[in-house]
Structure 1
Amino acid sequence: MAEIESVLKQLGQTIVEREKGEVLSFDEYLRLLAERPAAMMRNVFQLFHDMVKSSVHLMPDEYPDDPESINYVNYDTRKLFVEDSDRPFFADRLFANRLMSHVSAMKSGARQNKIYIFEGPPGSGKSTFLNNLLMKFEQYANTQDGRCYEVVWHLDRRTLGRFKEHQVGPFLEKLSHLLDEYELESQEWIHSRNILQRSGDFVEVSCPSHDSPLLMIDKHQRRAFFDNLFQNDAFKWELFTDKEYEWVFRDSPCTICTSLFQALAARLEDPEDLFRMIYVRPMRFNRRLGEGITVFNPGDRPMRQSILTNDMLQKKIDLLLGDSNEVKYLYSNFAKTNNGIYALMDVKSFNAERLLELHNIISEGIHKVEDIEENVRSLFIALMNPEDQRTIEGFHSFTDRIEFINIPYVMDLNTEVEIYRNIFGKQIDNMFLPRVLHNFARVIISSRLNIKSDALLEWIGDPEKYRLYCDEHLQILKMEIYTGHIPAWLTEEDRKRLNAKRRRKIIAESEHEGDHGFSGRESIKIFSDFFAAYARRDKMINMLHLATFFTRWRKDLRDSIPEGFIDSLVHNYDYAVLQEVKESLYYYNEQQIDRDVLHYMFAVNFEPGSVQVCSFTGEKLEITEDFLAGIEGRLLGAKVDRYTRMAFRQETQKEYTARTLTQEIMVEGKDPKDTGLFQSLKERYVFNLKEKVLEPFLENANFRRAIKDFDTDAFKTYDKRIRDDVTFLINNLSTNKYHYTKQCAKEVCVYVIDNDLAKKFQT
């Protein structure tokens, strides 16, 4: 029994500590404020920003040295939207960048008098997004890292008993009546500021508006007060200059706290007695109780009682203050979310009325409660379908206060695949040949993109030049850009033309996409049908299955998919697997390539016919047109014309003299092999060598048969050279770089040979 009592006591203590939290005197709070100002001095917008930032991980930049970067980065939002969630929300790269941009702006203070409306079509996951966001906010706000503090008054009866002489008689009469009325109250002892004090010695008055303790300092004295409190450091500079902290000097306490402050100041001779009655406690956020977070669904009817009070507490206050009627303990439901979050799930039915009611509250930050003005500085969030915008039509002054954030269907193919993995299990990867699962996602996303892209056409010009790798509407290219990837099949000229301005225009088009096509729910149903039809334990799902499903079996889906997209996707897949096979089959003399590139970098600075000693290798070079043209053939391809070679030679010479030699080698002291020009030339050299790597094997029937017989007894009957080449190829494809199993590698190699892909993409 003793053990049970001990366990129950410990459990009870834990509950009390969690629910009540630590109550601090105003002096103790100020000491914490001086020690940790950034953590202690936060409104709901700063708290929301810190919560999101602490939950979102910034992934490494795929192109860290890109001078044309637009900071379109990859955010890992799993901790915010997926982990510990009953219904995960998967934010694609486009939405994650959009969200993080708005969150940063919220903190700055420039967008705090607004309502944030997340607009998107049905089935885009808006409700799941908001529920998960509010859940993580509530969890964070109730931790030590996310803790915010609010005011709670402890009106000390003993101190208030020391009124001026003419106030003593009436006050004692009222106080006597008060004590008689509440004689049954607990005589429990509590510890406060190392002094044992009976709970019956004070009346606790909570601030229903969750006022920050900082607002108890007179607005006109705050600058001087903080100037004395803080050292001259970086935070103090931010506090006095950054718009993020403007609220500290601008906001006023609620009318209840203001009335109490004024009433006590008029009655207490020593101002320190007043501040001894101000206590501070952690603000508790509880969505279910409507404390700090309030969420309304469209069917939630308005409250019958819009004005809230506490008659018992009001009576105590009146008796303590001599029935002066100076303090009216009145507030509305909006007070409960002041410095918290007020959210509307779908703007329709009763929520449409609630949205319009927010007009004056958002613009002025004030709500009228009878004859009292109530402060409301909340983070207002709403969800809306595009067709519900008519709710706010005609309210031009209100639309200025609305910040729309687009939350469309997923348009990042990696995120679409993550959704399938979450629903059907990660083991589905083992049922597909590499790239095929992602190509299914590309088909779904193609229905969500606009057919025409002005930004891509302005950049690429004629899409026909990429007909072997991309569709005529360049949707495959756009999907790659949306994932943050620049395809290798782009020409060097187009890669250079992809500047920051063009990238922004391409990404900006996503704001007007994703509101049509297959919804999230539809895509899951389509994938379920596809997977059920082709998933087999003894055979992988390949591109032929994918093409057949959309073009022959589910003809009802074709109208939603751009014409010719499936064929283009097959071409793109063929190109990708061909490059992987070439890369895996290719092995080369690294030293010879380095020598050729260094010789070319050196030789372009001299006229043909001269003889020079290369300063990089020490070798004597006879610089002839044939010498230069031979290396240029490996750099540019054998079929390139003389005009292109000469232009490339001049550009290389210009880059060498302007940057490589004068800046990187002479000033920065780089090894020639570490220069940008060397790396660029070597990459070209290797690429063009790989283009020819399959030619010796395509005419050899034994090579194909050896691939099929790999890992069997029959494989031992082949010539050693063929066995070595096939083993080298399969093993390279089976590395972590390409994620093939040996069976997958065999199937892909046979596919490349049987479809003569090397000839198909021959340049």
Structure 2
Amino acid sequence: MMEDTASATGSVDQALSLLNRNIQDYQRLQPVSFETFLNMLNANPSRILRNIFQSFHDMVKAHVDEYEEPMDEDRGEPIFTRYDCTRLFVEGSDNPYFPDMLFANRFMKQMEYLRHGAQQNRIYIFHGPHGCGKSTFLNNLLKKFEQYANTEEGLRYEVVWRLNIKKLQEKCHSFPPSAFEQWMHLVETKEAETNSDPHIKDRFVKVQENDFIEIPCLAHDNPFLVIPKDQRRGVLDELIKNDQFKWQLFTEKEYEWVFTEDTCTVCSSIYHTLLELFQDPKTVFSMLFARPYYVNRRIGNGISVFNPGDQPAKHNIISNQMLQNRINSLFQDSNLIQYTYSYFARIHNGIYALMDIKSHNVERLVALHNIISEGIHKVEHMEERVDALFFALMNPEDKNNLKDFPSFEDRIRYIDIPYVLDWQTEVKIYMDIFGRHIDGSFLPMVLDNFARIIVCTRSQKKSPALEAWIPQPGKYKNFCDDQLMLLKMELFSGNVPKWLDDEDVRRLDKKRLKQIIAESETCGQEGLSGRDAIKIFDEFYSKYAREDRLINMTDLCTFFNTLTHQSEKLLPQGFLDRLLRMYDYSVLQQVKESLYYYNEDQIARDIKHYISAVTHELNSVVTCIFTKEKLHVTDAFLESIENRFLSEKPDAKTRDQIRNDVLKEFTTRALTQEMMIQNKSITDTRVFAFLHEKYVHNLKKQVLAPFVANENFRNAIKDFDTKKFKTHDKRIKKDVTFLIDNLSAKFGYTSQGANEVCIYVIDHDLAGKFK
């Protein structure tokens, strides 16, 4: 029994020893002297001299990855700015938030505004319909800031005074130690006299030498602001070397606060009282310390968040009577320093957030009017400065709560959070909620199309900008719907579809693109909410997910055609039919691409012969300048190659036009510029690439013809990966294996998925549908 007790005691000791070694947060939060603080400022001024706006901006930039888009030849600049907000809103979050491309751009633009200029006269209201994820967005944003603010990278410093009692006693001879201090002095004296431990004696000596009263600044002022305004430029000029940051510090408005802001009334009173008493600034600054600004939402330090049901505080004044009594005794004058703050002081240089503007939060928002307007809050007879980052969430109907305060409108900056308008982001939401494994239950593109249907309900059905850009959408009937909503979704996702023809791509200039993107401001306020979409997806997935088969487009169309939900009323007429047509056309092209055997050497040889032949007269015998083979240039020879890269048999006039175009392109660009100046081979020229694309495209159009009506081919596909497959003809087995392997390698199908999509293409006669 004693052995067990000893063993347990040893384990506990080891556990406590482990904690003692590993827990070191307290060391990081220890105050440092003002001299040490200035040394840190000298080493890293851009990090030390940050207010809440700059710090919050730096946090966002540190967690958002920006990707450069390829340059567009016509525009000369990137079309979209792509931001990856995963580290800001998803990683480490219990309830991730997924912003789409439109909101990410809107949010990052506001973050750029945030860093520049005076910001105390703004409240940022994130405005959006129910179920759009506003609360999730703001909670994740605040959580990430709290984590960042307490790291080395995001650390800021605040004032803490350590008033040296011994020095003050020397100046104030009448200073009587309190009964408590006398008792503590007696206890520590006896402890030091009776204890032989040298560590105890050392501690006693240090207490005697450094006995102080610690007065923290509840307003979290930067210690540098204690320096008088007229001395700050000179100090910074001495501390900071001449570089880019120093130029920004001395010239840009975002750093104006460093030279113009005052410390809080308590810090200011302490500084002036000490200076008057000692008449020695060095002694005063020896009592000034800097400690890390520890942000903790739960205790309201640096971040204060209020829900509508939270009752307002009965008393808005913070005081510490015990500390006030010691200050009064120390300075012998109760009027010199008043240690009094309001609760707003706790969010000075911090964040104040209101979750929904209703109930008690309406009162709180109205109470912020003077603070936001002037940055000043009255605490009894004292003025208290409050510079904070003010956030609020608002539903559309709650705007009425502000109608009686028109003067407040110019202090509010609304940032819309609509429903997700990017189908790729919508898919991420489903995967996050239901698990990434759900993707394996769908044929490729089917889950994407579910998301497209949901997003369609949130978009405006009419788009003047799109109609002006593409007045005849019928030419894209294999890729898009009549209202061009599928095209709008791609643009809202940051993609310019490859199926647009060259003329329309050229007409999509910067001005037109801005007009289209601007229409997104009116989208996402109606339609299926995020909660509705999740509920519908759960119903759909539960109904159609099976282990023996994958969810296909037939399932998707059947589900939405029979859905007795408001979504059927929100979809434009014919949208599902066009979505199905787009899917059918896409899978047909995938199967053709995967079944097509093409001999690149033969294709290249034909194109080289054709380019060489059009440079000579008909009925001449020439040597190909690329292959060195003899060519007899006749109409029949040229037509035999033209028929391979032209989809329909052209007339003589069309053939002449094609030959002249190829001849002109070769002589004026390919030969004289690309080959002779840029030293390219013929296969790298633009004319070769054009003919190659036409050649391959035309061959692929006919690739399914031998297989469509072949029942043995269909049966071989069904039997693939089974014992029956061995009984099929050798050539058919080779074709089917080639097809299945290519679908998997090129388009991400599993063997089961490739099998099912091939049967779908054949049974629905997609080759005939798009003949």
Relative to the length of structure 1, the TM-score reads: 0.89
Distance 1:334-1:621 versus aligned 2 partners, 3 A rule: farther
Does the 8 Å contact 2:162/2:214 carry over to 1?
A: yes
Which residue does the alignment assign to 1:172?
173
Which of these residues, 642, 647, 670, is aligned with residue 637 of structure 1? Answer: 647
Q: What amino acid is the match of 1:457?
A: E
Which of these residues, 198, 213, 220, is aligned with residue 210 of structure 1? Answer: 220
Which residue does the alignment assign to 1:724?
734
Greater Cα offset, 304-313 or 620-629: 620-629
Which residue does the alignment assign to 2:456?
446
Which of these residues, 685, 689, 692, is aligned with residue 699 of structure 2? Answer: 689
Which residue does the alignment assign to 2:147?
139
Greater Cα offset, 349-358 or 654-663: 654-663
Distance 1:7-1:753 versus aligned 2 partners, 3 A rule: closer
Q: What amino acid is the match of 2:759?
A: V
Distance (whole Å) between structure 1 residues aligned to residue 523 and residue 116 of structure 2: 29
Q: Equivalent residue of 1:176, what SS?
A: coil
Does the 8 Å contact 1:80/1:136 carry over to 2?
A: yes
Which of these residues, 395, 405, 412, is aligned with residue 415 of structure 2? Answer: 405
Shift in Å at residue 518 of structure 1? 0.9
Shift in Å at residue 451 of structure 1? 0.5
> 2:762 matched to 1:753?
yes
Shift in Å at residue 312 of structure 1? 1.8
Distance (whole Å) between structure 1 residues aligned to residue 325 and residue 402 of structure 2: 43
Which of these residues, 314, 321, 329, is aligned with residue 324 of structure 2? Answer: 314
| Structure-to-structure mapping, 1:219-298, within 5 angstroms | 219-298=229-308
> 2:80 matched to 1:72?
yes
| Structure-to-structure mapping, 1:29-178, within 5 angstroms | 29-58=37-66, 61=69, 63=70, 68=75, 70-109=78-117, 113-163=121-171, 171-177=172-178
Distance (whole Å) between structure 2 residues aligned to residue 634 and residue 51 of structure 1: 58
Distance 1:232-1:707 versus aligned 2 partners, 3 A rule: same
Shift in Å at residue 179 of structure 1? 7.0
Shift in Å at residue 286 of structure 1? 0.6
Residues 115-168 of structure 1 deviation map (CA, whole Å, 9 limit, x = unaligned) = 1111110011111111111111111111122111111111112333443xxxxx
Does the 8 Å contact 1:191/1:197 carry over to 2?
A: no
Distance (whole Å) between structure 2 residues aligned to residue 96 and residue 144 of structure 1: 27
Shift in Å at residue 661 of structure 1? 6.3
Distance (whole Å) between structure 1 residues aligned to residue 513 and residue 274 of structure 2: 61
Q: Equivalent residue of 2:368, what SS?
A: helix
Distance 1:271-1:70 versus aligned 2 partners, 3 A rule: same
Shift in Å at residue 740 of structure 1? 1.0
Q: Equivalent residue of 2:173, what SS?
A: helix
Which of these residues, 345, 368, 393, is aligned with residue 355 of structure 2? Answer: 345
Distance 1:449-1:44 versus aligned 2 partners, 3 A rule: same
Q: Equivalent residue of 2:177, what SS?
A: helix
Distance (whole Å) between structure 2 residues aligned to residue 83 and residue 704 of structure 1: 46
Which residue does the alignment assign to 2:721?
711
Does the 8 Å contact 1:603/1:623 carry over to 2?
A: yes
Greater Cα offset, 432-441 or 480-489: 480-489
Which of these residues, 510, 523, 526, is aligned with residue 533 of structure 2? Answer: 523
Distance (whole Å) between structure 2 residues aligned to residue 22 and residue 457 of structure 1: 64
Does the 8 Å contact 1:593/1:685 carry over to 2?
A: yes
Which of these residues, 737, 740, 748, is aligned with residue 739 of structure 1? Answer: 748
Residues 601-637 of structure 1 deviation map (CA, whole Å, 9 limit, x = unaligned) = 7788889899987766666778888877776665563
Shift in Å at residue 682 of structure 1? 3.8
Shift in Å at residue 658 of structure 1? 7.9
Higher alpha-carbon Rg: 2
Q: Equivalent residue of 2:174, what SS?
A: helix
Q: Equivalent residue of 1:637, what SS?
A: coil
Distance (whole Å) between structure 2 residues aligned to residue 470 and residue 185 of structure 1: 89
Shift in Å at residue 389 of structure 1? 1.4
Which of these residues, 554, 563, 566, is aligned with residue 564 of structure 2? Answer: 554
Distance (whole Å) between structure 2 residues aligned to residue 101 and residue 13 of structure 1: 45
> 2:546 matched to 1:536?
yes
Which of these residues, 419, 435, 450, is aligned with residue 425 of structure 1? Answer: 435
Residues 628-683 of structure 1 deviation map (CA, whole Å, 9 limit, x = unaligned) = 77766655633678888888888878877887667665665555544566555544
Which residue does the alignment assign to 1:476?
486
Q: What amino acid is the match of 2:129?
A: P
Does the 8 Å contact 2:624/2:630 carry over to 1?
A: yes
Which residue does the alignment assign to 1:587?
597
Distance (whole Å) between structure 2 residues aligned to residue 363 and residue 651 of structure 1: 68
Q: What amino acid is the match of 2:481?
A: D
Shift in Å at residue 544 of structure 1? 1.1
Distance 1:494-1:184 versus aligned 2 partners, 3 A rule: farther
Shift in Å at residue 395 of structure 1? 4.1
Distance 1:17-1:549 versus aligned 2 partners, 3 A rule: closer
Distance (whole Å) between structure 2 residues aligned to residue 27 and residue 322 of structure 1: 29
Does the 8 Å contact 1:309/1:330 carry over to 2?
A: yes
Q: What is the percent sequence identity of the aligned residues? A: 52
Which residue does the alignment assign to 1:462?
472
Does the 8 Å contact 1:55/1:80 carry over to 2?
A: yes
Which residue does the alignment assign to 1:167?
none
Distance (whole Å) between structure 1 residues aligned to residue 47 and residue 98 of structure 2: 30
Does the 8 Å contact 1:706/1:723 carry over to 2?
A: yes
Which residue does the alignment assign to 2:335?
325
Does the 8 Å contact 1:611/1:623 carry over to 2?
A: yes
Corresponding residue pairs, total = 751
Distance (whole Å) between structure 1 residues aligned to residue 109 and residue 615 of structure 2: 48
Distance (whole Å) between structure 2 residues aligned to residue 273 and residue 142 of structure 1: 31
Greater Cα offset, 544-553 or 335-344: 544-553
Does the 8 Å contact 1:23/1:281 carry over to 2?
A: yes
Shift in Å at residue 172 of structure 1? 2.3
Distance (whole Å) between structure 2 residues aligned to residue 220 and residue 608 of structure 1: 91
Residues 509-533 of structure 1 deviation map (CA, whole Å, 9 limit, x = unaligned) = 2221111111111111111111222
Q: Equivalent residue of 1:693, what SS?
A: coil
Distance 1:66-1:544 versus aligned 2 partners, 3 A rule: farther
Distance (whole Å) between structure 2 residues aligned to residue 709 and residue 199 of structure 1: 91
Does the 8 Å contact 1:159/1:273 carry over to 2?
A: no
Distance (whole Å) between structure 2 residues aligned to residue 320 and residue 666 of structure 1: 91
Which residue does the alignment assign to 1:168?
none
Which of these residues, 476, 500, 506, is aligned with residue 490 of structure 1? Answer: 500
Which residue does the alignment assign to 2:392?
382
Gaps of 5+ in 1: 164-170
Does the 8 Å contact 2:296/2:303 carry over to 1?
A: yes
Distance (whole Å) between structure 2 residues aligned to residue 679 and residue 182 of structure 1: 94
Gaps of 5+ in 2: 1-8, 193-198
Distance 1:300-1:681 versus aligned 2 partners, 3 A rule: farther
Shift in Å at residue 15 of structure 1? 5.4
Q: What amino acid is the match of 1:336?
A: R
Relative to the length of structure 2, the TM-score reads: 0.88
Greater Cα offset, 677-686 or 222-231: 677-686
Q: Equivalent residue of 1:638, what SS?
A: coil
Q: Equivalent residue of 1:172, what SS?
A: coil
Distance (whole Å) between structure 2 residues aligned to residue 248 and residue 608 of structure 1: 83
Which residue does the alignment assign to 1:166?
none
